[in-house]
Amino acid sequence: MMKPVLTIVVPCFNEEEVFSETAFQLSTLLKSLVTQNEISNRSSILFVDDGSKDHTWNLILSENKLNPIVKGLKLARNVGHQNALLAGLEVASKQSDCVVSIDADLQDDISIIRIFLEKFKEGNDIVYGVRDCRNTDTYFKRTTALGFYRFMERIGIKLVPNHADYRLLSKRALNELLKFKETNLFLRGLIPLIGFQSSIVYYDRKERFAGESKYPLKKMLSFAFDGITSFSVTPIRFVTFIGFLSLIISAMAGGYSFVQAILGNTKSGWTSLMISIWFVGGIQLLGIGIIGEYIGKIYQEVKRRPKYAIEKDIYSKNEANMSYRKPNLNVYIDRIHNEIKKRPRYAINSNLVSESQNLIRKVEIKRSK
């Protein structure tokens, strides 16, 4: 079996505090794998700068000059973790046999990349890195994460529990992933849909090496909500069920009130009336909000806007930012034109030819005499 070309894709957003250590550890690992003939010497690390406001991109450029195994991709603006990761995967797919995605904070155990490669060579197209425990998380985060995975399972969305975006994808799996054209990305839900042979590797997640988490509570809640609404219509069906249930309860209450009115037991109850109005109104607003969320996603999908724009590329052979390196097409057109017309490469002066012929004749006449 030929040695596979491996690319490690690392999305970055304001990661100047951890970049140097991350680049060093990943480079050391990659060089070790190359030395041991586990991967090709054309393997590399691709850092994707997701519109960072600090010096992340300058650090990538500096590291690339000192260590060519480190390469970079700079996006024109911040497009979010999932889109930045997809950009790196798409660019890496053209030159790689397999790709490993990992966050830049060094919380994931990079040593299990060796096991990823073993599973890949055994025939697995997808290898998931799954956290063995969540001891490094707060109680709130552990509880909400557990609730999220259970809820997703209940509404029919297949996810790998305690798996983030630390995984290996073969070239075949990567090409299938790129066929999904969703604007609202939730890669943790998309990749299981590919259906190729997969395996799981468990590991212990460490504390963040330096800096602050780029996923505060607000972003995590938004990410979870995107995952739910991008893969299931259960929330809309739930609202429909609540509406139907409210209709039945209202009909029963109306029947009861009618019977009481006939029996003469009517009582004025402003409190119960106001509670009912507010309750039903709240359900209606909730339903409108959920339906609006789905309509908003449809609106984003039908516009088909590009997910990202690459400003600079020091990974691909044809760099997107090096437009001056494009060949001069006019030169090639002239060459083709000349070949078609079959122009002679030189021209002979006919006057010189006739003069030389006359001289030869005179010499021959003199010799004959």
Structure tokens at 283: 């359900």
222 vs 81: which has the higher pLDDT: 81
Instruction: Let me know: does 46 contact 71? Beta carbons within 8 Å.
Output: yes
Phi first, then psi: what are they for 347, rounded to 5°?
Answer: -130, 140
- The predicted model gives 177-204 an average pLDDT of 88
> Of 237, 335, 337, 249, which is closest to residue 287 (Cα–Cα)?
237
pLDDT higher than threshold 80 for residue 75: yes
Q: Give me the mean pLDDT over the 57-80 stretch.
A: 93
**Three-class DSSP category at 16:** helix
Listed in sequence order, the residues at least 6 apart from 181 whose beta carbon sits closer than 8 Å to its beta carbon are 304
pLDDT in tens, 229-268: 666 666 777 777 777 777 677 777 767 767 766 777 666 6
Query: What is the structure's pLDDT at 176?
Result: 94
Q: What is d(CA 43, CA 40) in angstroms, rounded to the nearest whole number?
A: 6
- 98 neighbors 4 (Cβ within 8 angstroms): yes
User: SS3 for 14?
Assistant: coil
Residue pLDDT, tens place only, 317-338: 544 433 333 334 443 344 445 5
* Helices 187-194 and 81-92, axial angle in degrees (round to 10): 40
Q: Mind listing the pLDDT tens digit for each residue in 143-178?
A: 777 777 677 777 677 778 888 889 999 999 999 999
Q: Which of 89, 61, 68 is nearest to 312 (CA)?
A: 61
3-state secondary structure of 124: coil
What mean pLDDT, rounded, does the chain reach?
Answer: 78
pLDDT of residue 6: 96
Torsion of CA 58, 60, 64, 68, to 10 degrees: -170
Model confidence at 88: pLDDT above 80: yes
The number of C-alpha atoms within 13 Å of 154 and in the hemisphere containing its C-beta is: 9
Are 49 and 88 in contact by the 8 Å Cβ rule? The answer is no
Residue 200 CA: distances (Å) to CA of 67, 125, 287: 32, 11, 38
More confident residue, 225 or 4: 4
If 0-12 CB within 10 Å is exposed, 13-18 middle and 19+ buried, where does residue 85 land?
buried
Are the C-beta atoms of residues 106 and 206 closer than 8 Å to each other?
A: yes
| pLDDT cut 70: percent of the chain above it | 66
**What does the pLDDT average to over 283-309?**
76
- DSSP state at residue 206: P
Q: How confident is the model at residue 113 (pLDDT cuts 50, 70, 90)?
A: very high
Which position has the token pair 């969320």? 293
> Within the chain, where are the H helices?
16-35, 56-66, 81-92, 113-121, 139-154, 171-177, 187-194, 217-231, 234-263, 270-303, 329-341, 350-368
Mean pLDDT, to the nearest integer, of 97-120?
94
Give yes or no for residue 359 having a pLDDT over 80.
Answer: no
4: pLDDT strictly greater than 70: yes
**By three-state DSSP, how is residue 12 classified?**
strand
Bigger pLDDT: 252 vs 84: 84
Pairing of strands 163-170, 126-131: antiparallel
What torsion, rounded to 10 degrees, do the Cα atoms 342, 346, 349, 352 define? -140
Q: Per-residue pLDDT for 190 more than 60?
A: yes
Using pLDDT thresholds of 50, 70 and 90, give the confidence band for residue 26: very high
- pLDDT of residue 226 exceeding 70, the answer is no
